[in-house]
Homo-oligomer: A and B are copies of this chain.
Amino acid sequence: MDFDLVVKNGIIVTASEVLQPGLEIGIKDGKIICIGIALPTSSSTHIIDAEGAYITPGGVDSHVHLAQKNSPTGDGWETGSRSAIAGGTTTIIAFASQPKDATSLYPVLEDYDKKAKDQSYADYGYHFILTNPTKAILQDELPVMAAQHGITSVKLYMTYEAMRVDDRQVLDILFACRSLGMTTMIHAESHDMINLIIEGLERRKNVDPFFHAVARPRIAEDEASYRAISLAELADAPMLIVHMSSEVAVNHVREAQTRLLPIHAETCPHYLFLLSAEIKGKTHDHFSGAKHVCSPPLRHHPKDLEGLWQSIANGTFSTFSSDHAPSKYDHPGGKRLGLVDGIPRFTKIPNGLPGVETRVPLLFGQTPACQPPEKAKLTLPRFVQLTATNAAKLYGLDGRKGSIAPGYDADLIIWHPNDTGAVTISQDLMHHDIDYTPFEGVHVGNWPRYTVLRGQVVWDKSKGVVGDMKYGQYLKRGKGQVLTGRVGNLPRGMNEDERRYWL
């Protein structure tokens, strides 16, 4: 029991417990070896005194867009992963996106691997975005990707002309993933509803950034979510609906979960903290609303926020991810693409917000660690589930990432003790390569004092980023777990026989 590092004097939080103050974490070779009282140390043991602060698992952000071609002014691996660790996130799962005309995933993976290699401060992996799910990809390539490359999840779009798959393709992918134990992520918005509204808006010359929020109403998300759930129910395959923003859509998920369908839901910081008023822009720069253009859009009413916070607390959401998908604002290839000859065209604004750095502190700020008990919106264990544990389990990193227990990677956030860590978010504190943060001015009650990745301090609030850009490792992931419901249900009203005939 000879430790490289002992973290002492903290309050460890797991997905189910807030442990008693004063426990110590003994770390060796990047792993947690021991949790206990009065661990032995030697002269070679590095010691961090948490001074009574909370210690939570390093964040796992399972929805991050880095170095994607369709976002030329967004973050690459260096800046994106730097931003992550500065905000307490030690694991990133980004996307390797199949171009519509690509008929194999191998070159896609190669391309993304090249960009990430030796460029990440954080550990990382990929989900494939499937835009053209050929038979060969589904039958031949995905099994190899899962077994050899540890890529055990895919993402689909029900909207965006360049990316969308139709319902039949959704089904084909779900069936393929089911047999491989892979998880399917889905962006659920009704393409046809949105297009119709966009045409109406353009016809009426309603093209300011704000109209982006009008173009994608909640009903578009509600319908597509119900459809996605139904497709997953037919396939009896696990699914996660990404970045949910509408209460009715979330109710569909809740109802499915009650029936034990393996339907997971994700939401993002911007849907919990921001409203569409942000997209209206500032007086001096009317176009600045473009900064807040993302899909689904920010919603209009405080009641929308309430509904989502309720689902954070009652367990409907499994994960809370950043959907970090930024573009620079004041840059011709960035959000400014939405200004055509000086005239706004909301449809041309690149979608997405930066958020990988602010995600964890924003949610931590709503726990009893930072709020009087009656104002806290979620418990500390629920915070851990949402920011780390659940994503790790769902995406095949269980036993390695997402928890503080012997055997796990020593990925930790050590918070500031008491009230010493409060911060007002502002762009000059950020470490991304983007020229704004949508959470400018939001006060959070604490910020990671140290981020520890596999036993190394990679972020020290008093010094800044202290990690090495080459330190992040590629994560070959295992099969994911079903966190809600189970696989093995019959579609409603169908019996075993009826299904055996065709499946």
Contact = CB atoms under 8 A, between A and B. Distances in A.
Contacts of A33: 36-38
A484 interface: yes
B234 A193 contact: yes
A23 interface: yes
A226 B492 CA distance: 15
Contacts of A230: 190, 193, 219, 222-223, 226
Interface string A158-182: 0000000011101110010000000
Given A39-B1, A222-B230, A501-B204, A491 B17 contact: no
Contact of A257 (B34, B204, B314): B314
A311 to B, nearest CB: 8
A47 interface: no
Contacts of A398: 17
A315 B486 CA distance: 13
Quickly give the copy total for this chain: 4
A310 interface: yes
Nearest to A223: B230
Contacts of A222: 230, 492
A37 B37 contact: no
A19 B405 contact: yes
A254 interface: yes
Interface stretch (A112-120, A194-202, A447-455): A194-202
A476 interface: no
A149 B233 CA distance: 45
Interface string A215-238: 101111011001100110110000
A16 B15 contact: yes
A37 B25 CA distance: 12
Contacts of A407: 19-20, 23, 37
Given A40-B1, A206-B501, A492-B248, A219 B233 contact: yes
Nearest to A492: B219
Interface string A365-395: 0000000001000000100010001000000
A173 B62 CA distance: 41
A343 interface: no
Interface in A274-330: 299-301, 304, 310, 313-316
Nearest to A503: B200
Nearest to A172: B196
A420 interface: no
B223 A227 contact: yes
Nearest to A193: B234
19 contacts: A1-B39, A1-B40, A14-B16, A17-B398, A34-B34, A35-B406, A37-B407, A40-B40, A167-B193, A198-B502, A200-B503, A201-B501, A204-B501, A218-B492, A219-B492, A220-B234, A226-B230, A254-B258, A300-B493
Given A171-B193, A193-B234, A201-B501, 11 more contacts: A33-B38, A35-B405, A36-B406, A166-B192, A167-B191, A197-B502, A219-B230, A220-B234, A223-B231, A254-B258, A301-B493
